[in-house]
Copies of this chain bind each other. A is one copy, B any other.
């Protein structure tokens, strides 16, 4: 059995690959695909890395074979980028997903794990979002992810794939550099000051976020590979932790002192604030928890884990 990760060179793709190689899930090949050759994170003979532009004709069709058992579709144009380049966003985030689903359809039964996003929500939301809350995206990225969820659910209902559309919480603390996601600051305001650098907070401290550590997201993605088919409704909000930006900054102070806290300056960005404020700050996770997905215990635990695992690993 083969497992494929699109966006396999990205942060999540690499973390997931590393976890899969250590997990007890039986497979004989793990194929990482990305636009640029994915870093070879292990010398396992089960690992294969492929540089390919999946949007080129025929590439996706060649990718999926009778051996394929699980596809993690993580590749995407991130939110700010999709907002700047409308055409590219729809082509990659919608059309490529559809092409992948089509390729999988020829070999029914493939577990298709689609990484969706909180950006499917927007506008005025209830205090606690549930599975019954309407998707009202206020960004092209969110609209594209929501459209893909419809595809994943319909292909699943027809028996063409065995799909799961998992809405990932905002990941924090994400190691590395800022990216073009509107949520990039959520990690920056903790990651940079912990390393002696300054960071800008573009949103009010009162803003409530729904977050998950990288490790918890990866554990949940592993769970998605073997989860028994959960009935009709295949879109799921992954469990997360509800924190305000102010609580995050106070935790930073508690862990690393006033000096670290002082490295974060407030500089309001209306565009980013509008996008992020339109995402849910609290979600009812009963269904996901019952299915064996998990959440972090506290923001303090998330920061501690970043310090001991990610910063310790850094070169």
Q: Which residues of A contact B (CB under 8 A)?
A: 86, 123, 126, 131-138, 140, 143, 146-147, 150-151, 153-154, 157-158, 232-233
Contact = CB atoms under 8 A, between A and B. Distances in A.
A138 B154 CA distance: 8
Given A131-B134, A134-B133, A123 B154 contact: no
Contacts of A132: 126, 133-134
Given A86-B158, A134-B134, A232 B123 contact: yes
A153 B135 CA distance: 12
A140 B232 CA distance: 13
Contact of A135 (B135, B138, B157, B158): B135
A131 B158 CA distance: 27
Contacts of A140: 154, 158
- Minimum-distance CB pairs A-B, first 8: A143-B154, A143-B150, A147-B147, A147-B150, A134-B134, A132-B134, A146-B150, A140-B154
A135 B137 contact: no
8 contacts: A86-B158, A123-B232, A133-B134, A134-B134, A135-B150, A137-B154, A138-B232, A146-B150
A1 to B, nearest CB: 27
Contacts of A123: 232-233
Can you tell how many copies of this chain the complex includes? 2
Contacts of A143: 150-151, 153-154
A275 to B, nearest CB: 12
Contacts of A146: 150
A207 to B, nearest CB: 20
B150 A233 contact: no
A134 B125 CA distance: 12
Contacts of A147: 147, 150-151
Contacts of A136: 153, 233
A165 to B, nearest CB: 12
A135 B233 CA distance: 11
A146 to B, nearest CB: 5
A163 B13 CA distance: 37
Contacts of A135: 134-135, 150
A108 B298 CA distance: 48
A138 B133 CA distance: 17
Contacts of A154: 137, 140, 143
Contacts of A153: 136-137, 143
Contacts of A138: 157, 232
A151 B233 CA distance: 22
Given A137-B150, A137-B154, 12 more contacts: A86-B158, A123-B232, A131-B134, A132-B134, A134-B134, A134-B135, A136-B233, A138-B232, A140-B154, A143-B151, A146-B150, A147-B150
Residue of A86, A123, A147, A154 most packed against chain B (CB within 10 A): A154
Nearest to A122: B232
